[in-house]
Amino acid sequence: MSAEDFRLLQELFCRECGLLFQPELKFIVERRLGVRLEVLGLKDFAAYHRFLQSDPSGHEEMEAALDVLLTRETYFFREPLQLDTFARQVLPALHEAKGASQQLRLWSAGCSTGEEPYTLVMMLKESGLFGDWSVTVHATDISRRALGIARRADYGPAALRVTSAERQARHFERVSPERMKVRPELTQPVIFGHVNLIDLGKVKQLPLMDCIFCRNVLIYFEPGYRRRVVQFLYERLVPGGYLLLGHSENLLNVKSDFRWVQLGGELLYQRPP
Amino acid sequence: MQRKGENALTIAERDVEVEARRRRVEAIEAVPESAPELVAALYDENVRVRQAAAEQLARVEPTPEVLSAVLHVLSSTGDVGARNAAAKTLGLIGSAAVAPLAQLLKTGSDDVRRFAAEVLGEIAYGDSAAVLIEALSDVDLNVRVSAAEALGRIGGIAASRALNELLAAPEPILQVCALESLAALDAPVALPRLVPLLNAVPSRRSAYRLLGQLRHPAAFGLICRGLSSVGRDAALLGLGAWRDGLGSEAEEALKHSQGLVADSVEWLKRSLLQDDRQVRLGALRLTVALNEPALAPALAQASHGGDLGEVVLHALMRLGPGGVSALLKGTPAPIIELEDEARAVACEAVLRSADPSVVSLLERLMREGDRELSDLAARALGRTLSLEALAPLAEALDIDELSSAAARGLRVLGATFPSEVAAVLEVGLQKAVRPHALRAYATVWRDKAGKRIREAAKHSDPRVRAAAVESAEFMGSVGLSELLSAALVDESAHVRRSAARALGKVPGAVAVPLLKRALDDSEAAVQAAAAWSVALQGASEYRPELEQVAAAPSGPVALAALQALFSLDGLDDRTLAAATSHSDPEVVKLALAYGADSVAGVKRALSALTHSRWDVRVAAARVLAVSAEREALVALHRALEAETDDLAREVLMAAATVLTKR
């Protein structure tokens, strides 16, 4: 892939979806989109750019491209320290704050293949705090294919690699020697949806949330769009609601009204109450 | 909230003020009379204003008064910002500032002598080498260090000789500085001076790095010896810096160096993860020499940072199927734990090196991996060219997310085992007709697939009908014309487009009479596909229709028609001129490229230098580099001055260089 082709694709993805693939990702972009070239029988990336931009199936192909480019490798109970803070600090705080309505809404923004929203439901159950509450976990992603996998709730060992045997027994049913399915009662509170986070119209259709998980998603956005997405997330939170980002992410250099709070050694963002 | 708003406003107001001051400085005329005002601006509290002042001052004629005023800022102020701005100014002034700086290097205070040496290094003017060499004997160590660094930027025989001598200095910091400067200059070094520094802790890393650059016959041996010593981390740097390819003899020597080291595998695993690119490269070379498949996962991780992807891929390929096994064997398979570049490179290696020995591992990965890895496993199974891959691929054909990859895998496998693969696909198609399975079946079973294709062409799902029509090229002549005729009037544009595409691949006797209908279709996608099929059939009788289609407002249609006309027997100037003013930049770029060899094409490229899109300007510059005469240089230089895009500037400059030599 020439520098020119990379730049043209970079601009196209940024224009269409607000995603910015930095030059250091060129190798990955080239490898992953190479699969698409093979499928479409195109000879080079210039032709692929033309296809994405001009071909009547370009829009469809854009989704396929995003699907391979945004393959976010994830698994159940990822980033245990942060989840521990969520369980020990955030959930009791939400329990107290929402006691009157007994209604709790979480959002897994960029849920990929579903491991994160199901993990959240499992943690809510483990906390024992929300037994009779009306609990919903909204789970959205830009990839329809990822959402299809998420809805099936059926996973192999890769997704379960840090899930203890005790948790596996408690939250999953074995469907084959290698695969486990999330127990049906744990899939009930999860509502999946196809949302591009830069699309305010779509984001606005979601209700106000008490806590948003948006881990390892903002890194993909061009700074201007990142600001916009952070603002959308802010607006989708109730006052006092929390935003949890990925371990290596923060909102430095992103102007936002979030304030940060230190809970149990973890850095969380909060919409001021 | 209100206070937050006020703060934001204050910051915004401050920004506006700074911007106004910067613009005021930029507006000051660059004449000696303005120098005091510009010098005063070097003390501004904001770095952007100081930067603008430095750049503007550098444009002023460097009279002795101007130079003296700037040198005064450098030598008499405790204001770090102003001093740096003065240094920047002098650096930009260049050679005219060398003599007064050289003077300052002899007479200033300790700090000023140091700054003078640094700025002389920045100007990198050959004549200042002598005074900097003299400064290597300065009483102040910091001045000596800055002088050595400056010599590393200036270069030349005298500088190299002085730096070589400095290797024997008693101060380790000077030795390191000399080593780094010699490495930067790529200068020859006397090996006897270098060898003692390989053993000294402070200088070891720099010394090995320089050793790697030397191309001295004895250097490689020293690196190998270092790899089994306490300084082996530094020796890896030397191996990473080694510029020549490593032949089998060199790899044997590397292998031998690790023969007696007990923990080399664990050490290499750690080294492959280091941030320093040269250390990783050294570790990678040693890993390849050791041919240790167990290191494959760590090797993949050496690609982190994105700068070694291709090299790591090549190294993984050298490990062969053993390396692939190491990536796939274990619970969970190591490839599952890899992320980002490491995963991309490992996936590529698996795909390229898959052979029958890893079928069971791939089968397991397909079931256990996440969606990217399952997809990879399905594709790689096809490439194993093993009959054992057939069963897992058939199973994957029934899984929605994997069926496309599985069908591709089966298509590859079908080249070796056509009847076995066709039988498996036939069973799948009897259960449900999936478009990619049908295409794979037709590819593998060719004319024997005719009946199945004809049936599928009448399927209720338009995606299946489209797949059937696309597979028509394999079905033989029975019913072909009827099938394509029917498809061209299908209610689904998707099916009609597939038919238009198929017209390029089936025998001309069937296709050519049908092309007119496809070219006249109301859908742009069908027209575009038809245009390309005209070219594939070489049906030049459709040239008038194609010329008409080339003027279509739809980019894809115009693009396809231009490509078709070009491949038939070239494009006339009128069509190219019209295409150059098309609203779709892709059409403009193609028209520029197709017209590159004509005078009119060069004229069009010259006009396109002012196009609003950077990629069109790039395309125009490329045409000029190939076909224009020197006269085009004026327009190119003008375009260069106006160009704000880095990539376009690069291409414009390259074109200007080519034309200058023409």
Question: Tens of pLDDT along B64-98?
Answer: 999 999 999 988 767 888 888 998 899 899 889 99
- The predicted pLDDT at position B79 comes to 81
DSSP 8-state symbol, B491: S
Does residue B645 sit at the A interface (CB-CB below 8 Å)? Answer: no
DSSP 8-state symbol, A24: G
CA R_g for chain B = 34
Residue B2 scores a pLDDT above 60:
no
Residue B639 scores a pLDDT above 90:
yes
Of A214, A202, A240, A207, the residue nearest A117 (C-alpha) = A214
Q: HSE of B152 in the Cβ direction (CA atoms, 13 Å)? A: 19
Does residue A50 sit at the B interface (CB-CB below 8 Å)? Answer: yes
Residue A167 scores a pLDDT above 60:
yes
Please list the helix, strand and coil fractions of chain A in percent, rounded to the nearest 5, in that order: 45, 20, 35
Confidence of residue B459 (pLDDT cuts 50, 70, 90): very high
- The predicted pLDDT at position B314 comes to 92
- The predicted pLDDT at position B11 comes to 53
What number of helices (H) and strands (E) belong to chain B? Answer: 42, 0
3-class SS string, A204-273:
HCCCCEEEEEECCCHHHECHHHHHHHHHHHHHCEEEEEEEEECCCCCCCCCCCCCEEEEECCEEEEECCC
CATH 3.30.70.380 fits A3-69, yes or no: no
Q: Name the residue of chain B whose CA is nearest to A57's CA.
A: B525
Of B368, B366, B371, B372, the residue nearest B346 (C-alpha) = B372
Residues B639 and B608 sit within 8 Å (Cβ to Cβ): no
Confidence of residue A141 (pLDDT cuts 50, 70, 90): very high
CB contact under 8 A, A26 and B373: no
CATH of domain A80-270: 3.40.50.150
The DSSP annotation for B289-313 comes to HHT-GGGHHHHHHTTTTSSSHHHHH
Among candidates A56, A68, A73 on the partner chain, residue whose Cβ is nearest the Cβ of B370: A73
Q: Which residues contact B23 (CB under 8 A, 6 or more apart)?
A: none
Interface of B with A in 469-508 (CB under 8 A): 493, 497
CB contact under 8 A, B555 and A54: yes
Of B477, B481, B492, B482, the residue nearest B467 (C-alpha) = B492
Confidence of residue B340 (pLDDT cuts 50, 70, 90): confident
Q: Quick one: tokens of B648? A: 């376009």
CB contact under 8 A, B559 and A257: no
Residue B614 scores a pLDDT above 80:
yes
| CA distance to partner chain A, nearest, from residue B587 (Å) | 10
The residue ranges of every structural domain in chain A are: 3-69, 80-270
Interface of B with A in 571-590 (CB under 8 A): 584, 586
CB contact under 8 A, A31 and B303: no
Please list the helix, strand and coil fractions of chain B in percent, rounded to the nearest 5, in that order: 75, 0, 25
Q: How far apart are CA B461 and CA B469, in angstroms?
A: 13
Which range among A16-20, B151-155, B544-548, B563-567 shows the weakest confidence by mean pLDDT? A16-20
pTM of the model: 0.73
pLDDT mean across residues, chain A? 89
- Judged on CB neighbours under 10 Å (0-12, 13-18, 19+), B593 is middle
A179 interaction partners in chain B (CB closer than 8 Å): 367
pLDDT, tens digit, 9 for 90 and up, residues B506-562? 999 999 999 999 999 998 889 999 999 999 999 999 999 999 889 888 888 999 999
Confidence of residue A150 (pLDDT cuts 50, 70, 90): very high
Residue A157 scores a pLDDT above 90:
no
- The predicted pLDDT at position A252 comes to 67
Confidence of residue B5 (pLDDT cuts 50, 70, 90): very low
Q: Which residues contact B14 (CB under 8 A, 6 or more apart)?
A: none
The residue ranges of every structural domain in chain B are: 582-662
Average pLDDT of the segment spanning B341-367 = 91
Average pLDDT of the segment spanning A223-239 = 90
Average pLDDT of the segment spanning B158-168 = 94
Does residue A162 sit at the B interface (CB-CB below 8 Å)? Answer: no
Using alpha carbons, list the distances in angstroms from residue B78 to A93, B40, B114, B385.
53, 15, 14, 74
Residues B571 and B562 sit within 8 Å (Cβ to Cβ): yes
| CA distance to partner chain B, nearest, from residue A104 (Å) | 27
pLDDT mean across residues, chain B? 89
Using alpha carbons, list the distances in angstroms from residue A225 to A14, A15, A218, A222.
9, 10, 9, 5
CB contact under 8 A, B345 and A148: no
Which range among A158-162, A233-237, B238-242 shows the weakest confidence by mean pLDDT? A158-162
Residue B12 scores a pLDDT above 70:
no
Of B426, B431, B441, the residue nearest B475 (C-alpha) = B441
pLDDT, tens digit, 9 for 90 and up, residues A181-215? 999 999 999 999 999 898 888 888 899 999 999 99
